[in-house]
Structure 1
Amino acid sequence: MRLHVGCAMWTHKAWQARWQTGPDRLRAYASRCTAVEGNTTFYATPTSETVASWARQTGPDFRFVVKLPRTVTHERRLAGADAELGAFLRAIEPLGPRTHAVWVQLPGSFGPPDVGVLASFLRRLPTAHRYAVEVRHPDFFTSPGAARLLEEALAVVAAEWVPFDTTAFFRHPPTSDAERDAWTRKPRLPLRTTALTDRPIVRYLGRDADEDTIAGWLPWVDVVVGWLREGRSPTVFVHTPDDARAPDLARRFHDDVRVRVPDLAPLPDPIETAPLTLF
């Protein structure tokens, strides 16, 4: 039984000013959180040497959820991208068991008629990895038939369905530039809390105000506690519009769950770094 928590990235300007003062920013992040979304791989496949440096900066229990490149998911829409897919899978090999799941994030236009393409794609993937799929077409959330069709395709390879919960964020109008930007970019979809596997993955978007973020995740505390008691090992990623305090909030979420599940192992103690000086 394990709860991994993390953020959308492992470095941020606000964090660099506070505690990421050395060159090994991932190492500092990994002393605070136990997982990270590999969003950078969506834009470009890293070199194996770069990925090896990620492995060196993290312990064996740290977990990456690495996103497939957009050439595979958005430009080729899972068809005719064997070369790009192979290059990506070879590049992440140095992570070894740190690869918690390969994340297939699909565009909002990828709907129920495309599930056959997804099913064929998933069946061709190597069994060395676990897979997690994020969909954004509204029919998957509002049509029981569409949801069942997708769940059946995922079940063939024991892939997880990743929800991105933005319901708390869209509950009130934005009050800052960061919130206004997120308001135009983030998906607005119904809440989904069903786990398909023993390793569910949740993406949660709060607000700039910590108290609003915490109030919004209270239903997820109940869900995660339930999953842990069922023997599942969930991963929860905490986002906020500016992400300035996301690592602290991720740790707070873990603490809130641990109050209810005392047997849950504590998070690591953060590495303390000296403040930057001029000399």
Structure 2
Amino acid sequence: MWTHRSWQGRLLPHPLPARERLRHYAGWCNAVEGNTTFYATPGRETVATWAEQTGPDFRFVVKLPKVVTHDRRLTDVDQPMRAFLDAIEPLGARAYALWVQLPGSFGPDDIPTLARFLRRLPAAHRPAVEVRDPAFFTDPRATRLLEATLAETDAEWIPFDTTAFFTDPPTSDAERDAWTKKPRMPSRVVALTDRPIVRYLGRDDPARTVEGWRRWVDATATWLREGRSPTVFVHTPDNADAPTLARRFHDEVRAQVPELDPLPEPIPAEPTTLF
């Protein structure tokens, strides 16, 4: 997501042509979750505009289409995968990872299917898998099985940490909506590859969000010192302040790892004036 109604006129200029929105978002953050590709595979022309609006080091973590992961559950997906990989080709190296988000019903017994799917992916693409069956987190045998399968293709395991969100009952409409929709996932602070990816869900209260991400600041700093290149996505139920929170997270990591490059300077939401 690189546009949000509550950002318009506050963080991003408004009105802003569709072909300019990603460019302005990229002034705030240097990575984005490509969640829209889950619902429909975009045209190559559209994806080409994404590449035009971002620098060569910008990271897209692009989610595989729903028809691949949920409808067909990674089986008989040659045609939709060919169409998807062709569509994102204009991104080049910006396609940092293929985000394989699996449904909660995809459990340890389905690991052979995942293994076959990952082996068939082109070597040019790095997969990152998000699982939602609790057994992968609570059953040591299932954990080891998944880790071994991912290791075969240098695939990462994406944790979706919702523990901070579910600590206390919701206090806003956005939180109440998320309370019924988001999975209650355990926290898993483990990197399998040199490119760990983290998804973190906080609260609409920024202070609560910051309080809940402490473990991730420490983990990210540790990974950087180990020579890894982590990517962290910060969410809240309403996402109203997500870009500013993401920058604050980055600043807290830089306080521990000063050699980490700063994020780019945002393009002003309003033109500067003399008065």
The residue that corresponds to 1:5 in the other structure is none
| 2:269 is aligned with 1:273 | yes
2:221 aligned residue (197, 221, 225): 225
Q: Secondary structure at the match of 1:92?
A: helix
- Equivalent residue, structure 1, for 2:100: 104
| Partner-residue secondary structure (3-state), 1:262 | coil
Structure 1: how far apart are the matches of 2:111 and 2:101? Answer: 13
The equivalent of 1:127 in structure 2 is: 123
Deviation at 1:273, TM superposition (A): 3.1
Q: Which residue of 1 aligns with 2:191?
A: 195
Q: RMSD across aligned C-alpha pairs, in angstroms?
A: 0.7
Count of matched residue pairs: 267
- Structure 1 segments, 4+ long, off by >4 Å, are none
Moved more, 25-34 or 14-23: 14-23
- Match in the other structure for 1:17: 9
The Cα shift of 1:61 comes to 1.1
Distance in 2 between residues matched to 1:233 and 1:80, nearest whole Å: 33
1:153 is aligned to 2:183? no
Q: CA deviation at 1:16?
A: 1.5
CA distance in 2 between partners of 1:124 and 1:130 (Å): 12
Structure 1 CA distance, aligned partners of 2:97 and 2:13?
A: 26
Tell me which of 188, 194, 202 is aligned to 1:206. Answer: 202
Rounded to whole Å, the distance in 1 between the matches of 2:139 and 2:22 is 41
Aligned ranges for residues 1-279 of structure 1 at < 5 Å? 9-18=1-10, 19-21=12-14, 22-23=16-17, 24-274=20-270
CA deviations 1:239-261 (Å, max 9, x no partner) are 00000100000000000000111
Partners of 1:161 and 1:225 lie apart in 2 by 18
5+ residue gaps, structure 2, are none
Q: Counterpart amino acid of 2:213?
A: W
In the alignment, the residues of structure 2 paired with residue 41 and residue 17 of structure 1 have an alpha-carbon distance, to the nearest angstrom, of 26
Distance 2:221 2:13 in 1: 31
1:37 CA displacement: 0.2
Q: How far apart, CA to CA, are the structure 2 residues paired with 1:173 and 1:209?
A: 13
- Matched position secondary structure for 1:236: strand
Q: State the alpha-carbon separation in 2 of the partners of residues 148 and 108 from structure 1.
A: 18
Provide, for residues 246-279 of structure 1, a one-character-per-residue CA deviation record: whole Å limited to 9, x for no partner.
000000000000011111111100011327xxxx
Q: Distance in 1 between matches of 2:195 and 2:186?
A: 21
Structure 1: how far apart are the matches of 2:72 and 2:163? 30
SS in 2 for 1:11: coil
Query: In 1, are the aligned partners of 2:6 and 2:240 still within 8 Å (CA)?
Result: yes
Identity %: 70
